[in-house]
Structure 1
Amino acid sequence: MASGKKQGYSEADRILLTLVLILAVFGVTMLFSTSEYNGRVRFGDSAYYFKKQLFAMSLGFLAMYLVAGMDYHFFIRLAPAAYAASLGLSAAVLVVGQEINGSKRWLNLGPLSFQPSEFAKVAVILFLVWQIQQTKSSTSGLWFMGRTLVSLLPVIGLVGSNNLSTAIIILGIGVALIFASNSRYACFLGIGAAGVAVAVLFLAAESYRLERLAIWRDPEKYEKGFQTIQGLYAIGSGGLFGRGLGSSIQKLGFVPEAQNDMIFSIICEELGLTGALILILIFGLLIWRLCVIATRCTDLAGTLICTGIMAHMAIQVILNIAVVTNTIPNTGITLPFVSYGGTSVVFLMGEMGLALSVSSHKQHFFTYTKG
């Protein structure tokens, strides 16, 4: 008689799960505090944004739970189809997308709106993992690096035409995964130089991108620098411990759309430098935990998935905080788990589910013994 036992399966990483829960609770709390004024003025409901975000967060937790319980190799097998779908959806945005606040980034699905660029981030991570796994030759050559980056150009071009920040994140994810699978580092100097050249050409291609650079250098000189200036006022007025939760003044119409990209400035105002540093610490711990899971995984695919998710989180957090503090030009990027955005929350939770799946599947084979 034959009996089988699955080896190498353990519980999902509890530290990662705890950090995700903390960020989720913190995010909806700060979102309610930041958005209640805009919700009351625009929709007559101070909890308008909060309720929509809470609904999206619930869907996100469901997605995380379902994904975490599945073998992540299943999603890798779907990667080519997911990448093709992301290209199709990104192209559809250019044709029939809904324009909100001057940006065409959404597709209407009945009463709901969907942001394909958020799906593209996950699809790119899975597609690159699949592509690296399919590579029969060495992953340390220039041919491999160039071919992998070229495969991302279609989605980078489509997404970058109306969402530069997400295109930067996708490119960063690609470089991180190539770096993780490559044993040689000198060639990355060439990639860096090429990246700088492409960035310069990309910025020069549109006048409004050059205008953003000018606004970044001297925001007080331009009318469009109003949001940046008000965000800096919010950060400065928070002091060490802040005005107190719910006591922000800048969210009362001074910081436009404060619940979106600029929510970190309101966190600084209400919770002060102390609260901001604690939030940064939690993000740092989340990124560290993803790194731990990646290094402990015995499977290349699992390692690369966690590396891609880690790169996504790190790049997006750094870019958002850098924009809010005017360290870099404004790129319109959200703060993960905290900024308002249903599509973003659902797919972020899905990514966390993938990482939890990797953490609970250390090996992926069955051992059979005869008895």
Structure 2
Amino acid sequence: MELRRGFPGPRQTGSDCLQKDTEPKRQADELLLILVLFLVVFGLIILYSTSAYNGRVKFDDPAYYFKKQLFATALGLLGMYISSCVDYHWLAKYAPWGYLASLLLSLAVLFFGDEYNGSKRWLSIGPLSFQPAEFAKVAVILLLAYVISNSKSKKNGLLSMGKIMLLILPIVGLVGTNNLSTAIIILGIAVILIFVSNPKYLPFIWIGGLGIAFVGIFLSMESYRLERLAIWRDPEKYDKGFQTIQGLYAIGSGGIFGKGLGSSLQKLGFVPEAQNDMIFSIICEETGLVGACILILVFGLLIWRLMVIATHATDLLGALIAIGIMGHMAIQVILNIAVVTNTIPNTGITLPFISYGGTSVLFLLSEMGLALSVSRYQK
């Protein structure tokens, strides 16, 4: 079996590589590091501009959200440095345990989780809180890369693909109970990893059909999910479409070059919680079409660089880890921008490195560290 489109074939499995030459061949990918640091700095600047009003009104501190995000970013950069220095083959050995931990944490959310804005997604440890769903994304990437790269049987049959998908259904079910958007991302990551490790196309037609049927049944189980579809089709008809309409106003009012950093009007209470999922609309308002296109270009370069790292990985394990991270990044960026522009129904997905969320930026940066670790073993 060979990976499609130039990805390295199974010359070595993950376990084989542990016994062979695993010394770093070069420094970590510098361009990837530069792109990540640019997004982190840009995200902090935009976050402060976007959240200052809400911070002043709610906490009497314009920098409230900024300081919390800065602390999480500092931890994330430390995590990125540590994971970039650790051999990814060693990390992959503990992937099953990491996945088990994500299952237990997600289960704990159902019983002991904290609820904010009607969603129970957080666990609190003293003064700190985090979302186990963000850890689950990393755990799934490592688990599937480890399982696929160490599989001794053919990976091009429906039965084999079904077994791999069954591995992640428990975490999808647990996370999807309170966080449908993250469950969709995890499923997307799994499909991408199976797709790039399989030389055939036909089985994915069946997977696509089953996926559409599953989504249809899942949406019909809760009335509020069907309501989101109705709001998407005609947001002006529903009170809950207010956020979508105000976000579109922000995008349109920015014009070509924007109103200037800090000059947004829609963030002044018109776009609720503008620092979260809808932050891309404020970017469009303050920096215009030019700023939005530059940001999308940087994300595109980041995704391309992850593809390059996967292509030049020395083994299947490294290629799949990089592809999993690339898939996660691509899915999340595309879905967030699509939601903000009302191209798809609202799913509550954050914009990587930009939206407010300490757990998100912490684990995203740790993922980038994994990609940098893979890049250190490039051919």
Q: TM-score, normalised by structure 2?
A: 0.94
**2:368 equivalent among 336, 340, 352:** 352
| Runs of 4+ residues deviating >3 angstroms | 5-8
- Kindly report which structure 2 residues correspond to 1:1-371, keeping only aligned pairs within 5 A, or say none: 9-362=25-378
Note the alpha carbon deviations across 1:185-219, whole angstroms, 9 max, x for none.
Answer: 11101100110000000000000000000000010
Note the alpha carbon deviations across 1:152-195, whole angstroms, 9 max, x for none.
Answer: 11000000011000000000000000011111111101100110
The residue type equivalent to 1:191 in the other structure is I
CA contact (8 A) 2:314 2:377 kept: no
Note the alpha carbon deviations across 1:228-286, whole angstroms, 9 max, x for none.
Answer: 00000000000000000000000000000000000000000000010000000000000
The residue type equivalent to 2:239 in the other structure is E
- Which segments of 5 or more consecutive residues in structure 1 lack a partner in the other structure? 364-371
Separation in 2, partners of 1:158, 1:134: 26
Separation in 2, partners of 1:184, 1:65: 37
The residue type equivalent to 1:254 in the other structure is F
Separation in 1, partners of 2:299, 2:22: 34
Separation in 1, partners of 2:365, 2:62: 26
CA contact (8 A) 1:35 1:259 kept: yes
The residue type equivalent to 1:352 in the other structure is M
Which 10-residue stretch deviates more, 129-138 or 54-63? Answer: 129-138
Separation in 2, partners of 1:148, 1:288: 26
Percent identity over the alignment? 70
Note the alpha carbon deviations across 1:287-307, whole angstroms, 9 max, x for none.
Answer: 000000000112110000000
* Offset at residue 362 of structure 1 (A): 2.9
Aligned counterpart, 1:366: none
* Offset at residue 134 of structure 1 (A): 2.8
- Which segments of 5 or more consecutive residues in structure 2 lack a partner in the other structure? 1-20
The residue type equivalent to 1:121 in the other structure is K
Aligned counterpart, 1:368: none
Aligned counterpart, 1:367: none
Q: TM-score, normalised by structure 1?
A: 0.96
Partner of 1:156, secondary structure, is helix
Partner of 2:262, secondary structure, is coil
* Offset at residue 7 of structure 1 (A): 5.3
* Offset at residue 133 of structure 1 (A): 2.3
Tell me the number of residue pairs that the alignment of Structure 1 and Structure 2 aligns. Answer: 359
CA contact (8 A) 1:165 1:333 kept: yes
Compute the RMSD of aligned alpha carbons: 1.0
Partner of 1:197, secondary structure, is helix
Separation in 1, partners of 2:98, 2:253: 45
The residue type equivalent to 1:48 in the other structure is Y
CA contact (8 A) 2:22 2:377 kept: no
